[in-house]
Structure 1
Amino acid sequence: MSGDDQRRGYMIGQTGFAVRALEPALYLVATPIGNLSDITLRALETLAAADIVACEDTRVSRVLLDRYGIRRRTTAYHEHNAAEAGPRLVEAVLSGKSVALISDAGTPLVSDPGFRLVGEVVEGGGRVVPIPGPSALLAALTASGLPSDAFFFAGFLPSKAGQRTTRLEELRGVPGTLVFYESPRRLADTLAAMVGALGDRPAAIGRELTKTFEEMRRGSLADLAKAYGEEDTPKGEVVICVGPPLVADTPSAQDVDALLLSLSDELGASRAAGEAAKMTGGRKADLYRRLMELKGDGG
């Protein structure tokens, strides 16, 4: 093996597999979400051969690279330095280098700023190559026991209660399983908010997926909210899966109007619209506007 070959990393540590030179491109490399064995041979070959490995956190990624004896140049690329680091990575690709993009865990671009980098490379005429693999989203969905033929990934909900409720109400009518990432500190509050905004649907909580203390808890949103509200704050990464809207007869427009007026006799307009949303599956904002129209028509 020549010295140049050694510098290029054509043999990786003690793994012993050959590494071919990469064509100039941005390679989106999925990495393990917990268990370091969950990585593909193609991902290892790509990381070993790339001119630059762009990491969300170089210290976190170094654990994976060291595990497989990969010695490549790394650079940080994350939401706080994307404006500065992004143009340098785009220029590297467009000038003929291979750049491998990895996140701390899972598939790049899922809840991280990589989509901007991809867009800039594409706009500049560069090539983007996906190297598929682990994803917390798909791992939780497939193990949840909930329908997976149609689903909507909503990422992280807003941390402020009002904004969180508004977002959940926007998602209420999505005809598929909803998947969210959440902080363990906010899990109990988020589940309670989901009960209020989405109704009591089947759900599943994936925690520490692929790790030693992996947990998948299933039940109704109300039962899960009660359980987590009474327990100590859990540890680890959390994925929430919520089943599709429960099948029910769609009320007629006349029935909805009658319900709104009836509720508004006892509740304020905002609360009446909220209760009607829970009962009909409609959006609170739309029902509130309709109630205002009805009140206006009635003088």
Structure 2
Amino acid sequence: MDAGDSIRALLAPLLTLPLLDHIDGLELSTLSRVSPSRIAQSAVPNIGQIELVDSDAFRDDYSPLYIAEFEGHELEPPAAIIDRLRDEFAGKRRNVSPYRIVGIRDRNGAAIGAAQFSIFLLRAEDVVVPYLQYIYVRPQNRGQMMSELLHTLVLAVSEADARSRGWALPRMPFTLCESQPWFGKKDKVDRAMIHSRSGSQALLLRRKGDGKVLSAHVQPGLAPEDPPTTLIWLLRACPRGDHMQCDDRLGRAVIAAFYRSLRDEGFPERNIALAERMVEARYKDCEFWTMPLSAVTADMVVGLEP
């Protein structure tokens, strides 16, 4: 650890021992988009504890906030998350994408917010990609840098998991996440604005023939009866500067890892296979393309499902 790691010095008294041990040796300041002074002023005074959330903590303390922050069709059943966390902490998921939740509590022990994510270990590309599935902060703690702090810890935990599997210096060019574009319901637009302010870029497909741009995203229905949904893939650059272009090879590898992780996590196979076929059809005569989320228009997203 660098002696000048100001963010680690700020957070160390707040980190639970399992989390502190897990990210030992990592320089947190290189993984933060905001300065130590902003974290010290806005976040730290409101925090009692930062933890790697286990199955019991999620069930008892974080799942009510998770359920409150998302609409029903956006939610994965909490019971499935609890089972996955139990297996993760028991060491039963070594051959699949790691699944983690980082949580923040206030000084009374109540949940402030959390980030739920899988970690794609793309060995052929020598790249680690955190896939941020959900991030949420209770209303009274918004505007206090909690989301930025959670993002930093997502990167730290992802790098630590990669190192624990034998990667000495893993490259993390970006965090992968999903969003609605700049239209739709107000809460979805608000989420898109947050992503845009963070500098996230939309990952899309561009047809070589006519230049038409379309979404590379198809989420399978989370329940057997649910239809596929097209959103927008977003890439949030790692502050450390492990930047690399998401070319066709990396783009396909990331999306393949997404569907593989859904299989690992027990989502309906029929729905996953349908979503994969839809994406494969969009790949035809296309190359991966990035642009600001604010430049995404409805015709790139709406009406792409068969």
- Normalised by the length of structure 1, the TM-score is 0.28
Larger Rg: 1
